[in-house]
Structure formats: C-alpha cells, structure tokens
Chain A
Amino acid sequence: MAGGFPTDTRGNGLTGIVPVLFAAALFAWFASMVPTIAATEVIRVSVPWIPSLGIELAFLVDGLSLTFSLLISGIGTLVLLYSNTYLAGHPQYARFALFLTAFMVSMLGLVLADDLILLFVFWELTTLTSYMLIGFSHEAEKSRRNALQALFVTGAGGLAFLAGLILLAAASGTTNISGIIAQGSALKEHAMYLPILILLLAGTFTKSAQVPFHFWLPNAMAAPTPVSAFLHSATMVKAGVYVMARMHPAMSGTDVWLWTLTILGAVTAVFASLLALRQTDLKQALAYTTLMALGTLTLFLGQESGYAMTAFATFLIVHSLYKASLFLVVGCIDLSTGTRETDQLGGLGRLMPITAVAAALAALSMAGFPPFLGFIGKELKYAGAIAVASEPLFVAGAALLSNALMLTVAGVVAFRPFWQGSVPSGQSPREAPWQMWAGPIILASLGAIFGIYPDLLQVALINPTVISLTGEIGEAKELKLWAGVNIPLFLSIATFVLGLLFYWHHVKLRAKIETVFQTIPNLDKGWDSFLDGLKGFAKWQTLRVQNGKLSSYLFGTFLTIAAGILLTLVYTGMPMIAVDLSDVEWKHTSIALLTIAGALLALVTNSRIAGIAALGVVGIGIAMIFIVFSAPDVAITQLLVETLVVVLVAVVMLRLPSMPKAEFRLNHAVLSVAVGASVSLILIAVVSSPLDLRLTDYFEATSWPEAYGRNIVNVILVDFRALDTFGEIAVVVIAALSAYALLRTTRKGDQK
C-alpha cells in the first residue's frame, strides 16, 4: 500500500458512488424511524415464509435494533465513501463494493430479524461475506489463511448457535423472538435452559472473539483497512454482543449467565488491553482494543441493573464512533507514509492537520476525557460496576485497569504519531483527500457533540435501547457530563493518573508485557498445529480407506451389507421361520439349480469368457424367476440389463492378460457365505411376514380410472411416482457423465 494516496481521487465511477448512495439512503430511512422509537413504540413487519413451521420473515425495529441499524448504515456510508478513494482504481473494486454492501445488508438483517431462523440465516450470511472481505487480498497466502481461520472459528460457533436456536425454539414453542421474550422468565426455569445458554454463548463468544476464541480477530486485520474499520469496530464482531443483548430480557438474571458473562467479559477486557499495548502496529493495537470493548460490553450484559444497561447502550455507541474513526485514520497514515509501525512514525501533525484533529477527537473520546461521550460512557461504566451487587470490586477493578490501558493505547495510536518526534527521512506524508478524512472527522465530532449534548442521544436511542434490554420503561439512567462528586468521579481521576503513568512508560511496559506473554501458550500457533493435525489425520484415513484396490472396496461394501443385515436380525429378534416347500414345482427347482450352477462355475473357472458367461447365466436365472412369478416388465429389464452387462464386461475383460490361477482366499470365502446367508435369511423373514397389500390394492384400483393405464408398473413409474423416476434418471445421467469424464481423463493421462 506504500506509495501515497491515489492520484486520481475521483474513485471508481458509478461502481463507487452507487453503494455510497444506497447506504446513505438506508441511513436516512432508519433515521426517519427515530421519532417513533423515541416515543417508546416499536415497528413490526412480518411476511409468512414457511407457514407450516410457523416461521416468518419477521422484522422488529426497537431501540436496540435501531441503534445498531443506524450505526451499521451510518458507518457503512462513510466507510464506502472512504473505500472509494482508498481503493481507487483497484481492478476488483466492484467485487469489493459488492461484498461490503452485501455484508452491510446481512448485518442489518441480523439486527432487525425477529425470528430465530431468519436471525440464523443472516448470521451465517455475515460470516460468509466477512470471509470474502477478510480474504479480499486473495493473492496473499496470509490473507487467505486468516480469512479461513475466521470462517472456521465463527462457522463452528455458528453450528453451536444453530443447535442452541433450535433448542430454544423447541423449549419456548415458537421461533418468534418477541414471542419468546414475552414469555418472561419461563425460559430461565426450563429444563433445557443450561444447554441452550451454553450453545448460544458458544456462537456469540466465537463471533465476538471473547477469550479463548479471541485469536482470529487480530488476524482478520489482513483485510483492507476500511473493512477492518467496518467489520471489526462497528458491526460484525458486535453481532455476538447484539444477540446476547437481544436475549437479555429472556435469559439474564441466573447465576450461570451472570458469572459466565462477567468473568469472561472481564478477562477479555483486561487481557486484550494488555495485548493492545504490546503491539507496535497501529492496526493490530486497535484490533485488540476492539476486543477490550467487546469484553466490556459482555461484562455489562452479565448484569441487570439500570446503570449497567445504560452503560452498555452508551459504550456501544461511543466505541463504534471512535473506533471506526481511528481505524480510518490509521488507513490514512498507512497510505500517506507507507507504514503502520509506531517506531517509524512521528511529526505527522503539521503535515496532516485534519487527520490529526480527527484522531485527537476520537482518541480523547476513547481515553474518556470530558466533555466527550467517552467520558460519560466511562462514568456510567463505573456506576454500573459499583451497582453490581455481588462483586463490585472485581468488576470495577477490571474496568479501571482496562480503561487506564485504553487511555495509554489512545495516546500511542492517535497522539504519538502526530505530535511527537519528527517525520523520518524517506517519508513525504501529505494530507488525505477529503473523502478519506470526512468519515473520521464526522464520527469523531459526533463523539464530542453527543458528549456536550447527551440529551440528544438519551431520548432518541439510549432510553429505547434500555427498554429493549430490560423489558421495562424508566430503567435508563441519565447521561450527564457532571454528575457531582461521587465514586465514579474518583475512579475517573484514578484512571487518568494510571493511564498517563502507563503512557510515559509505555515502551518499558511493552517490553515487560512481551516477556510475560512469551510464557503463555500462543493460541494462534495452536490453531496451525490443530489444522495440520486435522489434515494429517484426513490424509492417513484417506490412504487407509481409499487404497485404490477395487477388491478391498468391494470387500468393505459387502462386509457392511452382511454386518448390517445380521445385526438387524439379531437385535430385532430372529423370526422363527418354518420354511414350507410343499408348493415348489419342478420349474422353480430347475431355475434355482441353473442359477446355482452358474454361480459355482464363475467361482472355479480359470477362463475369463467362461466366467462372464457363467455370471450371465446367474442373471438370466433371476430373470426367469421374475417371469415365473409373472412380473414381465421386471424380467424384460433384467434380461436387457444382463445382456448389456455381459457385453460391457466382455469388452473390458477380454483385453486383460490371461487370468491367474484361481486361488482359495479364506476371508473372501467367509464373507461370501455370510452375505449369501444373511440375504437369504432376511428374504425368508420378509416373505414369511404378512404382506401389506394396501398399496397394491390402491394402484390396482386407481391405475386405469385415474391414470388411464393398465400396466401398473409403468403407471407407477411415469405417473404416481414420476418425481422419484425423475430423480432416478437424473442420477443415471450424472453417473454416465461422471464415468465418461473419468474414462476420458485417464486416457488423456496415458497419452502424455
């Protein structure tokens, strides 16, 4: 990406403009819903989708989903505008814009869905589209690997999530989310509560990269910077948080919920802020602070108090604003100087003033200085932490430590490159074009505006969101810049002192963290060895199962048949069969003898042609059985197939070298006897049990009057069961084409 900003800042023409306008229109549309939602109403739209299962295309706009929708579409608009310049002239920009827009739409669907199945569909769509986006620079091996890692981790979580959703639907008897929430605490007392919770959390924790699934998120930074800004600040990683928030009214309040979310959230927040400080790459540092934010949000969702919920709603907005802004700033720095390493950056403030201002505004909000929204968010966080009845010290301690570290990281990322040191030689940075500083400036300024006028946010989004979270009106706490002298204020001051201390010593601190983290296992490396192990196992078992010998494949197939039949017979109780041979006529006996003779000859002969002919005798014997028992259609088919098989086998076999002398193989002999015996046994068992003639009678009665045919076999094939027949002939075509392709491939290979 080195080499400065694109010279042609007009972007990518219509391909670049249309997505921006589309996203902006969506934002305007959602913004027009704000008055309705602020009046504590909700909007529902629902279209039947799978009525037989009660599944609907149901959408719900309430405080929570509207907040998310505004963040997604608003930041989406700015990111698309930014990308249009960031990737100006990129040969695959159309693809990029398509993926990004598709991702935005699926994310909107996810937060608006009011049906579990619909929610899951959008959930998976975000996984797929983000896979495309993370792996957008698909020429780079690292990029592909990291995209795949994100796909696997979130995809595996998605499977657990689906299982959880199905259990949830079964437990509550409906797939409608509003319906489930309306059932109140019924779910918490349900016997399946714990399995549901574990499965849902497995999905949301992988998606939101909570410890121990955190390792994929920093790797996902292989994506172009606008993608990181969008996916990993405002949206995708918050999908998990969103689902936890959505289920909060129905599932929170139990000990498991409280402790799992609190502990894992706190651990993630502290762990991630330490990791963030350790990074020298600006983008990586930001990636880890995102983890910290997700941990904090999870931590608050563990609680139930009005403070915690208000803190959640506020911090959600604060974080999205400053984080997207900072990511975009880092993208500007990257393009301008060609590096993102903190050691190689400095003195950019004079050369990139507007970017520097945006960075400063965002960083101040991130660090929690007044009068920014971040300050209010932080005060509420502390108030929420103190309101925790059970372990206020633990929660407040985690919040204090991670906030102080946030301040430090904000300094390292947004202060140091601009206002300390001087521009290293060899760099000629200049200000970014307006399309690229517009986004950061707008987002960062919003942080300041909402900080000074918190009422704007309070009525429009915070109060309705808290209603969605608690299910009750009036729980939301007031957003105030000055809340008087109280414990949160002291904690804030402690945060500033601690954070500034960390900042002055951050180089030394980084070295310390580095040495400590050397000692704990690296999950990312563990991931690689896990994948290698998986591939090794797959290779081993493929070599075992598919060894290329036809005889071993056949052996396996027939062994399975014999074992399956015999086990079934044993487990269902072998029916005692009295075989009645009194009505056997000479024609039956002779056909049986003929067939047996053919089989025996095929077994002992040393001549290929005799063997083929003998097998043909067996087939014709079977055809004669069909004739004797008056099934002419089956008999004709059997005869024709038998003829063709003999011809085909003869074509192939007669070109082979002469047959080696037949040798006796004990295991083959045992297997043949077992297959023959088990098939005979089950046939006798089938024949001796009373025949259910209902279908036969039905077809006999209706074949002529309803389908105008007297040949019942054919009428069944082409009319009553035509769909089955269609499936079969499709299989025939596929088999023929595959065999043809295989034959052609080997022939070509031989010629080379």
Chain B
Amino acid sequence: MNSVILRVGTRYLAGLLLVFSFYMMLRGHNEPGGGFIGGLSGATGFVLYAIACGTQDARAALRVMPQTIAIWGLGIALAAGLFAAIFGDALFTGQWLFIGATETEKGLPLSSVLVFDIGVYLVVFGSILTLVFAMEEEI
C-alpha cells in the first residue's frame, strides 16, 4: 500500500503498540492483560508496519525471523516450567522472589510465572507474524 500518511503514522504507531504490548504483558498478573494479549498487540504493530511499508521492511525492522522468535518463546516457557524441578516442585509450579521485601511491603516481585508469560508473548507474537508475513509475500 502506497500511502505517505499511513507510512508516517505507522512509524509512531508501531512503536507505541510495541511499548503498549509490553505494558499489557507485564501488568497481566493483576489487571487485564498478559502474554496472549501482549503478543497479539505487539504483532498488530508489525502487521501494520508490513501493510504500510511492505514485508521486506517489516522483516528488516524485526531483524530476527519470526519463526525463530516463536520457537524461542516455546523454549523459554518450557525452561520456566522446568525451573520448578530444581526446587523439587511439580513442573510449572510458580517460583517467586520478592526483592527488598519487608514485614509490610512485598518489594519487587519476580517470578518464573512472569518468565513463562514472556514465553507465551513471544510464541503468539512470532507465530502470528510468521503467518502474516508468509501470506503477504505469497500474494
């Protein structure tokens, strides 16, 4: 699609969508959001980019093959699940670390669950872009 307005707009929109997708993913544990939704919004940003500037530019902007991202996501999710085994828990049991926790404050919560969600994000993001790019190039 050859539209200057769309292309210029996309430059800002795509970046915003990407940042927003991270935000959606990170807040997912307590507010609406999460890896699925984050991955979907992130993918939307690149789909928009591909429509506006062509898939070649979109691929170049992504730098990594989308299928590689998806597979890495799967690997990260699996690693997060296996991580529990180190502590003798059943697979995919969440492991938590509260940095700087005091009696009343729980500090900065970090967890294997978050890592798992990042894996989900990457899988959704990578898979959708794999499909969309391939279809756009096909046609």
A interface list, Cβ under 8 A from B: 632-633, 636-637, 640-641, 643-644, 647-648, 651-652, 655, 707-711, 713-715, 717-719, 722-723, 725-726, 729-730, 732-733, 735-737, 739-740, 743-744, 746-747
A sample of 13 cross-chain residue pairs with beta-carbon separation below 8 angstroms, ordered by A number, consists of A640-B41, A647-B47, A647-B132, A651-B135, A652-B139, A708-B94, A711-B34, A722-B92, A722-B116, A730-B74, A732-B124, A732-B127, A740-B130
Q: Are B67 and A740 in contact (CB under 8 A)?
A: yes
Kindly state the separation between the CA atoms of A519 and B20 in the bound complex, as whole angstroms.
82
Kindly state the separation between the CA atoms of A714 and B35 in the bound complex, as whole angstroms.
9
Q: Are B130 and A737 in contact (CB under 8 A)?
A: yes
Q: Which of A643, A715, A729 has the most CB of B within 10 A?
A: A729
Kindly state the separation between the CA atoms of A735 and B126 in the bound complex, as whole angstroms.
12
Which residues in chain B, 62-84, are within 8 Å of chain A measured between CB atoms?
67, 70-71, 73-74, 77-78, 81
Answer yes or no: B136 CB below 8 A from chain A CBs: yes
Kindly state the separation between the CA atoms of A747 and B119 in the bound complex, as whole angstroms.
31
Answer yes or no: B2 CB below 8 A from chain A CBs: no
Q: List the B side residues contacting A736 at CB < 8 Å.
A: 67, 70, 126-128, 130-131
Answer yes or no: B40 CB below 8 A from chain A CBs: yes
Q: Supply 12 further A-B pairs (C-beta < 8 A) apart from A648-B131, A714-B33, A718-B29.
A: A643-B44, A644-B43, A717-B35, A719-B92, A722-B116, A726-B92, A733-B123, A733-B127, A736-B70, A736-B126, A736-B131, A743-B134
Kindly state the separation between the CA atoms of A718 and B34 in the bound complex, as whole angstroms.
9
Which residues in chain B, 43-100, are within 8 Å of chain A measured between CB atoms?
43-44, 47, 51, 67, 70-71, 73-74, 77-78, 81, 91-92, 94, 96
Known: A707-B113, A708-B111, A719-B113. A726 touches B77 (CB 8 A): yes
Closest chain B residue to A730, Cβ basis: B74
Kindly state the separation between the CA atoms of A647 and B133 in the bound complex, as whole angstroms.
12
Q: List the B side residues contacting A655 at CB < 8 Å.
A: 139
**Secondary structure of the A contact surface, majority rule:** helix
Q: Which of A652, A715, A718, A736 has the most CB of B within 10 A?
A: A718
Which residues in chain B, 91-123, are within 8 Å of chain A measured between CB atoms?
91-92, 94, 96, 109, 111, 113, 116-117, 119-120, 123
Q: Are B111 and A717 in contact (CB under 8 A)?
A: no
B interface list, Cβ under 8 A from A: 24, 28-37, 40-41, 43-44, 47, 51, 67, 70-71, 73-74, 77-78, 81, 91-92, 94, 96, 109, 111, 113, 116-117, 119-120, 123-124, 126-128, 130-132, 134-139
Q: Are A711 and B32 in contact (CB under 8 A)?
A: yes
Q: Are A733 and B34 in contact (CB under 8 A)?
A: no
**CB proximity of A634 to chain B, nearest CB, Å:** 9
**CB proximity of B30 to chain A, nearest CB, Å:** 4
Q: List the A side residues contacting B139 at CB < 8 Å.
A: 651-652, 655
Q: Are B124 and A729 in contact (CB under 8 A)?
A: yes
Q: Are A718 and B127 in contact (CB under 8 A)?
A: no
| Among candidates A652, A711, A733, A739, residue contacting B28 with C-beta atoms closer than 8 Å | A711
Kindly state the separation between the CA atoms of A735 and B136 in the bound complex, as whole angstroms.
17
Q: Are B73 and A636 in contact (CB under 8 A)?
A: no
Q: Are B29 and A644 in contact (CB under 8 A)?
A: no
Q: Are B40 and A640 in contact (CB under 8 A)?
A: yes
**CB proximity of A624 to chain B, nearest CB, Å:** 15
Q: List the A side residues contacting B41 at CB < 8 Å.
A: 640
Q: Are B30 and A729 in contact (CB under 8 A)?
A: no
**CB proximity of A712 to chain B, nearest CB, Å:** 10
Q: Are B74 and A708 in contact (CB under 8 A)?
A: no
Q: Are B78 and A633 in contact (CB under 8 A)?
A: no
**CB proximity of A444 to chain B, nearest CB, Å:** 58
Kindly state the separation between the CA atoms of A713 and B37 in the bound complex, as whole angstroms.
12
Q: List the B side residues contacting A735 at CB < 8 Å.
A: 127
Kindly state the separation between the CA atoms of A640 and B77 in the bound complex, as whole angstroms.
22
A-B pairs with lowest CB-CB distance, top 10 = A736-B127, A722-B92, A640-B40, A632-B32, A714-B34, A710-B30, A709-B29, A729-B123, A743-B134, A736-B130
